[in-house]
Structure 1
C-alpha cells in the first residue's frame, strides 16, 4: 500500500513538473481603457461664416466669443475630470481642444481660455496625471469683435496618456498629419481653409502594443469628410500593431459609405456595438449647454478597433469588454447646470492579448 502511494506521488510530481512550462507561458491579457471626448469649443461658428457683410461678421463674432466665456470651460473641465476619475482611462482622445485669445487690433493678444492646461489641472485635482503624447492643429484664425478689439481661435485635437503608475501604458512613436481633403469656407472677411488632421501614438504595456489614433472629421461637407476617412484608413493600413481609433467622425452607424461604414467594412469593430448592439449610445448633439433634458439623438463619437492586424495575425489581439457613455446624465452637469460638453464621451475597456509565438 505504501509503495503504491509512493509511486502515485512520484507520478503526480512528475506530471506537475511537466506542466509547469506551459502554465508559465500563459500570459493574461492587458486591459487598455480609452476615452474619446469632444470638449466643445464654446460656440457655434457657423453664423460667422454665413455673415453677409463685414459689419455683421464683427457682430456675430462678438456674440460667439461672449458665448465662449459664458460656456465656462473651467467649470466644465471639472465636471469632465470628475467623470473620468470614475473611469480611470489610460488614454484620452480629445477633440475641440480650444485656445481663445483677445487683444487690441494690431496689438498683442492674451490668452483668455486655454482648454488643455485647464483640463490637465482639473484631472490632477481628481488624482489623474496625464501627459500630452500627440497633438494636431485643425484651424487657427482671428477676427475683430469691435472697431478696436479682436479675438483669435485655435482648434486642436490631442492624445493624452496617463502617467505615474508603474506597469501602465507608455507612449512612443507619435505623429501628426493634416488631411489633403479640406474645406474652404468663403466669408465676408475672405476665405478660410479648414485643414483638419489626425494624430497617433503607440502605447505599450508588458509587451503588448497598440496604435492609438485620434481625429475630428469634417462636420459639414460629406464629400470632404468621406475623403478624409479614406485618407486615414489608407494611412493606418501600414501600422505595425492593431489600431484603436478614437474620435468624432461626424458619421452615424447607418452611414455605410461614410467614415463609420468605411472603417467597419474595412476591418474595424465598433466597441459600443460590440457590447450593446447597434442601438442607443447617443453622443451628439446638445444644442444648448443649459437645456434640460439632454437632447442627444445620434451616435457620431466612436471607439473603433482592429481585433488584429489582418496581414499579421501573430500580433496582439484586441477585444472590447466594456463600453460606456459618459456626460449624458443630469448628475454629470456643472454646479451651475451646464452639461460638460455638447457631446457625450465614450469610454471603452479593451482586452489586449499577448503576441502569439
Structure 2
C-alpha cells in the first residue's frame, strides 16, 4: 500500500484536475439561501487598436475596427444567452459590468464634425428585455456610469466614415418576484473612484474613470450591504488605490458586506495581484477559495470575438468576497461550458459568471 501522504497527494491532484462541469452544476434552491452573482457581460472590444494608434489616420481606422468588433460580437444574441445563465443561477442580486450603450452616426469630412448619433446596442436594455422574455423578474437597483467616449470619428476601410459613441456602466439588478417578507433592498448608492487613468489619443485625452454601486438589503431579516464594481485593468497602482477607496468608502459599514466584482486582480493562478492580496489581508473571505481551495476556478477570458471553439479561460479575476458574519455555502461558474454558447457559436461573454449561495448570520 502506498504511504498515506502519497495517497493524499494523488487525491488532491485528482481534485485539482476536475473540469468545471464536474463540480459547478447548480445552486441549491432551498428556502434559506441567499444567491448573488457577478457577471462581466463583455462590451465587445478590448480597445487594443485605439490604445496603440499613434496618428490621426491610424486612430480613425482603430475606431472603425472597434465598432466592427462590437458588431461582430452580436450583443443582442449574447444578452439572450447571458440572461439564460442568470436565470439558471437565480440570484436575488446581480452585479453587472461592461453594460455598454453603443451609438453611431455620420461624420462630415468637410467640417470634421460628427452628426447626430443613434443607438446601435444598449446592452442593459437588451439584457432586461431578454430576462423578461424568458420569464425572469428583475429591476435596476443601482447604476453608475464609468467611462464614456463622446461621438468620435472613425473609418471602416476602405472608405466608410462614421462617428462612434460609447457609454460604459456598472449595474446592480434585483429580483422583484421574491416574497418581500424575505427579501428587500434599499439605499442605492454609487460614485466614481477618485483614482483613475487617462487615455491619450490623437484627438485629445480621454478620462477612463471606474465606479462602484451598492444597495443595502435584507434576506430572511438578516441585513447586509451588496457592492458591485469593475476595477482598473491596465494600471496596477490605480487598481490598488481603487480597492483602498472601496474599503474606506461603501464597504466601511457596520453591516456585513458582499462584494461582487470584476476585480481585474488575479486571484489564480499565482502570483496573486496586490489588490487581491490587500482585500484578503483586510479580512475579506474569497467565496471561491473557501469552497474550492484546490481549484483555480478560472473566469477570464475568451477571445476578443468570443467565437473561440474551446474555452480559453485562464485566470480568476471575477470575485465574490465577503466581510463579516456571512456563511459561504456554495459557489458556481456559469457561461463557461459549451452548452452555454449561442446558436451561432458565441460565448455569452468573454468572462464566466460567478454565483454564490450565502447565508448572512
One fold, TM greater than 0.5?
yes
Match of residue 300, structure 2, among 277, 284, 289: 284
Structure 1 residues 122 and 179, CA gap change in structure 2 (3 angstroms): same
How many residue pairs align between the two structures? 317
5 Å matches for 1:76-95?
Answer: 76-95=78-97
Match of residue 298, structure 1, among 315, 325, 340: 315
5 Å matches for 1:188-203?
Answer: 188-203=202-217
**Is this contact kept in 2: 1:133–1:174, CA < 8 A?**
yes
Cα distance per residue 1:173-229 (max 9 Å; x no partner): 111111111101211121111111111111123321110000101100011111111
Name structure 1 gaps, 5 residues minimum: 1-27, 309-316
5 Å matches for 1:115-154?
Answer: 115-141=123-149, 142-146=151-155, 148-154=161-167
- Check if 1:337 corresponds to 2:345: yes
Alignment match, 2:289: 273
Cα shift at 1:278: 4.7
- Check if 1:160 corresponds to 2:176: no
**CA distance in structure 2 between the partners assigned to 1:248 and 1:115 by the alignment:** 17
Name structure 2 gaps, 5 residues minimum: 1-29, 108-113
RMSD of aligned Cα (Å) = 1.7
TM-score by length of 1: 0.85
Cα distance per residue 1:57-98 (max 9 Å; x no partner): 111111110111111111111111112222211111000010
**CA distance in structure 2 between the partners assigned to 1:298 and 1:38 by the alignment:** 14
**Is this contact kept in 1: 2:266–2:273, CA < 8 A?**
no
Cα distance per residue 1:230-286 (max 9 Å; x no partner): 111111453131110011111112465622111111111111111111532100011
**Is this contact kept in 2: 1:255–1:261, CA < 8 A?**
no
Where in structure 1 do 4 or more consecutive aligned residues deviate above 6 Å?
A: none
Alignment match, 2:14: none
**Is this contact kept in 2: 1:217–1:228, CA < 8 A?**
yes
Larger Rg: 1
Deviates more, 1:320-329 or 1:144-153: 144-153
**CA distance in structure 2 between the partners assigned to 1:207 and 1:345 by the alignment:** 27
2:83 alignment partner, SS class = helix
TM-score by length of 2: 0.84
Match of residue 170, structure 1, among 184, 187, 195: 184
Structure 1 residues 193 and 255, CA gap change in structure 2 (3 angstroms): farther
